[in-house]
Structure 1
Amino acid sequence: MKTTAIGLMSGTSLDGLDICLAEFEKLDNTWSFKILEAETISYNENWENRLRNAVNLNSEDLLALNSEYGFFLGKKVKDFLTRKNIQTIDLISSHGHTVFHQPQRKFTLQIGDGRAIKLETSIPTIYDFRSQDVLMGGNGAPLVPIGDELLFSEYDACLNLGGFSNISFKKENQRIALDICPVNIVLNKIAQNFGEKYDENGDLAKSGTIDFELLEKLNSLEFYHLQHPKSLGIEWCNENVFRLLENIDSLTALATFTEHSAVQISKIFNENELKKALFTGGGTYNQYLIEKIKAKTSIEIIIPDQRIIDFKEALIFGFMGVLRMNGEINVLSSATGSLKDQSSGIIA
């Protein structure tokens, strides 16, 4: 039986709302998928600023934004379906936009109330995929390994280069996953000093000079010496990374942090003797970063077609919604560190 689902993803780098409509089918315990339509809707300046500053809101204003953003998501889905002339779909699966992520304190918050999406669209909506895992002692991240396991099993590893880089791979018959290091959440912020939203192709970083003393400080951060499972959030960057980059020339900061990202990513490949990896996410377009990774590891890097690069996370969140509606496991404890595998997400 085929199920059509929309996956919604808003990443920490705030480059827009990813909408991915896909068809999923299970035959003989094997899942397949087909992306039918997908696009990224850029945030206007108002929404970008509101989401960026949500972490500073008082509780009342944050609750109001949670509702308003939910209705915003619902309207964008309705508009998407109208423009694509799509009459019916089975469900919407929304990641929301992360404001807080502190699993050590047993909470995580992705705003965009799924009930508002359901009210706006009249389509069953699954949302809040992370909180249950955090309450069960997990990191609430990364969640996409279930999709890597069931939809992309032909690769030894799946690496996402987004706001943060995260990876999943098979080890001793278990799907291991972890956040590796910040990527675009740092690089994009530095690029803004040049009036750019991001460092296109890594050209700015390439023209800069690596500060090896700064590089050593970055590589020495405690997080990189912790065992998996582990995850990162903006709070960690504020406390650890941006503090080190204060008063550093922007070109030097870009060059050094690009090198740092390549070092940390390559280390995971080399330590786990991985042979073939699928690369996705916006950072895949950073040719300088990719060259740096290639120079530090012998792994075969597979860069898929553009829709997989751009929409793999939204695709997998759509898939997670399908699994949730079927009552099947959609969060792996081997990836998040929670008490057990689970079927997570609130159904509206």
Structure 2
Amino acid sequence: MKTFKVIGLMSGTSLDGLDIAYCHIWRTGDRWDFEIKKTKGIPYNNGLKEQLRKSIYLSASELLAFDVKYGIWLGERVKDFIQSAGIEVDFIASHGHTSHHRPELGFTHQLGSGQYLANTAGYKVICDFRNKDISLGGQGAPLVPIGDSHFFHAYDFCLNLGGISNISFEHKGRRIAYDIGLANMVLNHITAKIGLPYDDGGQLAQKGRLLPKLLNDLNKLEYYQQPFPKSTGFEWFMEQVVPILDHYDNDPKDLLHTCIHHICEQIVVQVNLNRSQKEASMLVTGGGAMNGYLIRVLQEQLGTTGKLVIPPAEIIAFKEAVVFALMGVLKMVNETNVLSSVTGASKDSSSGIIYEPQ
């Protein structure tokens, strides 16, 4: 059986940078398996970070121009990575960076032109993994659960704490997954106002105190009452969450402390609603897994019946990039890589568009 040698690229809503994961992926029985061979995280400089953050406000022509510029930037980073590592690569699977996500209007857009990425890097590229699912009536998200079902099926729940929190689990023989709600996006929004990219380890939050009114305001967000399948993103955060935060001029430590308790409360609600047994294990990945205070609060709220599993740092940081590498492999062999049980689409699909370098 062929072993695919793939580079997965991921840029998430937390805007911390580009994740590059070089993986070997092969089939084992009816599932796929992987080995991470080499990784690299490339932080965004302030200029690029702001361009990505504000891309939602660009005109159509400006957005298209930035799509090309960012695709070239991705290609240059990958080309340097391949050359410095001296590795053999079959193709690149790129998520891109989401600028717009409006499934209710029938569209989503991930920045990073696949053709320009392929031309610049000199390798075949598979990208645009969301739009086909949206055309089939789905949310186009979350996508990572296909990786959970193949790579991390030993856990009762897979929780990802990126800019947004999302959860994945098996229910009656089907993989279910959806965005729970807030995670690092709200924490980083607060720290940005005091000149910090993030709250390292949750040290500031740990020193804060709970603001009951803010906690109640956040818990009352309408999104939390919606049934799954559901997904959310930056638009929701700006339109629904930031106005709530703007009502509070409290010490940032208190805001961080309260938001962490809110994040954990909403996760625990979903775990308790969907657990099929008294004791449940939960794999935690994404940047939030490295926030020691958040993890401590989450474990306290789960109690003794929930066991949090924090994997090695490489899995925490690069899990999503690895899963996009898998999605590229599944597209290449024409197997399902987007699950309708997760997205709400009319059927499963093998999604992605293939670009050959020119």
Range of TM-score over shorter length: over 0.9
Query: Runs ≥4 in structure 1, deviation > 6 angstroms?
Result: none
Alignment length (residue pairs): 347
Q: Partner of 1:45 in structure 2?
A: 46
Deviation at 1:153, TM superposition (A): 0.9
SS of structure 2 residue aligned to 1:197: coil
Moved more, 169-178 or 20-29: 20-29
Alpha-carbon distance in 2 for matches of 1:102, 1:238: 14
- From 281, 293, 313, the equivalent of 1:288 is 293
Deviation at 1:154, TM superposition (A): 0.8
Deviation at 1:15, TM superposition (A): 0.4
Say if 2:122 is the partner of 1:115: no
AA paired with 1:308?
I
Q: Which residues in structure 2 correspond to 1:308-347 (within 5 Å)?
A: 308-347=315-354
Alpha-carbon distance in 2 for matches of 1:10, 1:48: 11
Q: Partner of 2:260 in structure 1?
A: 258
Alpha-carbon distance in 1 for matches of 2:345, 2:198: 35
Alpha-carbon distance in 2 for matches of 1:173, 1:301: 23
Say if 2:284 is the partner of 1:279: yes
Deviation at 1:49, TM superposition (A): 1.4
AA paired with 1:280?
T
Alpha-carbon distance in 2 for matches of 1:77, 1:182: 30
Q: Partner of 2:104 in structure 1?
A: 104
Structure 2 unaligned residues grouped into runs of 5+ = none
AA paired with 2:190?
I
Residues 242-286 of structure 1 deviation map (CA, whole Å, 9 limit, x = unaligned): 111114122222111111001001111112226011110000011
Deviation at 1:63, TM superposition (A): 0.4
Q: Partner of 1:307 in structure 2?
A: 314
Q: Partner of 1:32 in structure 2?
A: 33
Deviation at 1:72, TM superposition (A): 0.7
Alpha-carbon distance in 1 for matches of 2:213, 2:122: 56
Alpha-carbon distance in 2 for matches of 1:236, 1:154: 33
Q: Partner of 2:269 in structure 1?
A: 267
Deviation at 1:55, TM superposition (A): 1.1
- Give the TM-score normalised by structure 2: 0.95
Q: Partner of 2:244 in structure 1?
A: 244
AA paired with 1:183?
A
AA paired with 1:265?
I
Q: Partner of 1:158 in structure 2?
A: 158
AA paired with 1:13?
S
Q: Partner of 1:17 in structure 2?
A: 18
Deviation at 1:209, TM superposition (A): 1.6
Deviation at 1:61, TM superposition (A): 0.9
Deviation at 1:337, TM superposition (A): 0.6
Alpha-carbon distance in 1 for matches of 2:118, 2:203: 43
AA paired with 1:262?
C
CA contact (8 A) 2:93 2:125 kept: yes
Superposed CA RMSD = 1.0
Sequence identity percentage: 45
Residues 202-260 of structure 1 deviation map (CA, whole Å, 9 limit, x = unaligned): 11111112111111111111111111110011111111111111141222221111110
Structure 1 unaligned residues grouped into runs of 5+ = none
Q: Partner of 1:202 in structure 2?
A: 202
AA paired with 1:73?
L
SS of structure 2 residue aligned to 1:194: coil
Deviation at 1:27, TM superposition (A): 3.0
Alpha-carbon distance in 1 for matches of 2:3, 2:10: 22
AA paired with 2:339?
L
SS of structure 1 residue aligned to 2:83: helix
Deviation at 1:30, TM superposition (A): 2.8
Q: Which residues in structure 2 correspond to 1:126-205 (within 5 Å)?
A: 126-205=126-205
- Give the TM-score normalised by structure 1: 0.98
Residues 93-114 of structure 1 deviation map (CA, whole Å, 9 limit, x = unaligned): 0000000101000010101011
AA paired with 1:118?
A
Alpha-carbon distance in 2 for matches of 1:188, 1:238: 13
